[in-house]
Structure 1
């Protein structure tokens, strides 16, 4: 484990780090340490693709290399789409937006954290969970300033230049958290609305053992909203899901696991105690 303070902090690395997986012909998932970024677009159309999320701090070179391998040289995405602005999802966003000179889209409620206006609430190290939760005070929560590249997602749920996909507001883990969904084949990019690994367990993070869980506990501040977001996504009956943490999941494992999480969210996802749990029971 390497710990460097500030925006250079890099948490524990999983066995999947550096591994990419094509989950659809036009959906490629790349694991960077313990978080996933997605490349959306057909490699045969190298000027018509999108990057979802921007990985850990100091990961720009790795993302650029993977993009070049998949889409060729001098093939920037049309835009970067953010599920939310936590440090492990925006680590390279400023460098990438400047390098490619492309817009960065996020939900209106995430903009304060991406314009240098407001810091995120501090992570909750007191929350019920394993070693990763205890280490969470080391995780950066400071706002960044994406600058002129930052744009607000359209209010109607559409995404510019990619009409087959739509964004869905799935708050709870953060106020402006969104997920991305394609109706045609029910593909879901869920961010941290739910994840496919028990993120607060160091062993499971290392090994990437698959199991559907709620959002990472140490950063989730609104458990009521998080519950409703999971129910919203389960109602879509996704056929495949790429989450912010954990391996992509599909088929019966996904449908049964997501249904179980939606029906028993409080017992599976909500911690027994923690700073942000009290509001749920008040």
Structure 2
């Protein structure tokens, strides 16, 4: 994938959400490093950022875990271009397993492209979305399908939750012990359709980006599922992490009002 010129004021910002959960912003999207650098140089990467950003991600890993930083696996919340953009470049350096939900497989083995975007959704970014890559990538040789029981083989203590709607195989990661959530694009903390909000990263909880979401009822159900978990902190795909009352109150409101506030008029 060619490098995309979009960026934001938080590009390159890293936030230690927990000692073993680190959120790093790549232009307009967040990736997560799971692993405690005080205990080991090994880590798991969640999502793979924007196209042609692999060098920045590798450098961020070294800054976090040291020069001997060792990626053990990559877990994908889904396969949209801003979440897999650097994946092939990373795999040339880190030849590791890539875990994803079985329903996301066609978009990761070269078989299928994502549907065309909804350019009629409100906002300039939605109008621009026809220019965004939506073709499948092929990482078949590294791809591993996650078990049906919700476990993550390389990440004990965490489980994945199938949160479809934005894509058929979208997943979120949850740790019951401390109620930490990596939500991907199941919900986000910026109004992703509007260019000014993307550039400034104005905090505002929303459902998944409207232009690429394929099933709105499923997306609403996924938000309800995550709300019922009562997470205490969340790393989201777009926007700053959320925690405590700010997260629980706003996520409950989103789950309640989703039909009125999030679904584009031409999809109701």
CA distance in structure 1 between the aligned counterparts of 2:131 and 2:154, rounded to whole angstroms: 38
Please state if 1:244 is matched with 2:237.
Answer: yes
Please state if 1:179 is matched with 2:142.
Answer: no
- Alignment deviations for residues 193-227 of structure 1 (CA, whole Å, 9 cap, x no partner): 00000000111111111111000000001001000
Query: What is the CA distance between 1:62 and its match in structure 2?
Result: 0.3
Structure 1 range deviating more: 54-63 or 11-20: 11-20
Aligned length: 268
Aligned counterpart, 1:269: 262
- Alignment deviations for residues 118-172 of structure 1 (CA, whole Å, 9 cap, x no partner): 0010111122x11000000000000000131111011111111321000000000
Q: Residue 199 of structure 1 contacts residue 216 of structure 1 at CA under 8 Å; is this kept in 2? A: yes
* Aligned counterparts, 1:88-103, within 5 A: 88-103=82-97
RMSD (Å) for aligned C-alpha atoms: 1.0
- Alignment deviations for residues 34-84 of structure 1 (CA, whole Å, 9 cap, x no partner): 100000000023343100000000100000000011111232211000000
CA distance in structure 1 between the aligned counterparts of 2:90 and 2:9, rounded to whole angstroms: 25
Please state if 1:122 is matched with 2:86.
Answer: no
Aligned counterpart, 2:78: 84
Structure 1 range deviating more: 164-173 or 247-256: 247-256
Instruction: Give the match's secondary structure for 2:119.
Output: coil
Q: Residue 41 of structure 2 contacts residue 66 of structure 2 at CA under 8 Å; is this kept in 1? A: no
Q: Residue 46 of structure 1 contacts residue 72 of structure 1 at CA under 8 Å; is this kept in 2? A: no
Consecutive unaligned residues of structure 1, counting only runs of 5 or more, are 1-6
Consecutive unaligned residues of structure 2, counting only runs of 5 or more, are none
CA distance in structure 2 between the aligned counterparts of 1:265 and 1:218, rounded to whole angstroms: 16
Structure 1 range deviating more: 97-106 or 33-42: 97-106
Q: Residue 80 of structure 1 contacts residue 97 of structure 1 at CA under 8 Å; is this kept in 2? A: no
CA distance in structure 2 between the aligned counterparts of 1:224 and 1:124, rounded to whole angstroms: 16
Which 4+ runs in 1 deviate beyond 6 A?
none
Aligned counterpart, 1:3: none
Instruction: Give the match's secondary structure for 2:214.
Output: coil
Q: Residue 52 of structure 2 contacts residue 89 of structure 2 at CA under 8 Å; is this kept in 1? A: no
Instruction: Give the match's secondary structure for 2:130.
Output: helix
Query: What is the CA distance between 1:11 and its match in structure 2?
Result: 4.4
Of 183, 196, 200, which aligns to 2:189? Answer: 196
Q: Residue 9 of structure 1 contacts residue 140 of structure 1 at CA under 8 Å; is this kept in 2? A: no
- Alignment deviations for residues 80-132 of structure 1 (CA, whole Å, 9 cap, x no partner): 000000000001111212311110000000010000000010111122x1100
* Aligned counterparts, 1:104-253, within 5 A: 104-127=98-121, 129-253=122-246
Instruction: Give the match's secondary structure for 1:211.
Output: coil
Provide TM-score, normalisation by structure 1.
0.93
Instruction: Give the match's secondary structure for 2:99.
Output: strand
CA distance in structure 1 between the aligned counterparts of 2:110 and 2:81, rounded to whole angstroms: 13
Structure 1 range deviating more: 92-101 or 226-235: 92-101
Aligned counterpart, 1:24: 18
CA distance in structure 1 between the aligned counterparts of 2:245 and 2:163, rounded to whole angstroms: 23
CA distance in structure 1 between the aligned counterparts of 2:235 and 2:102, rounded to whole angstroms: 23
Structure 1 range deviating more: 10-19 or 54-63: 10-19
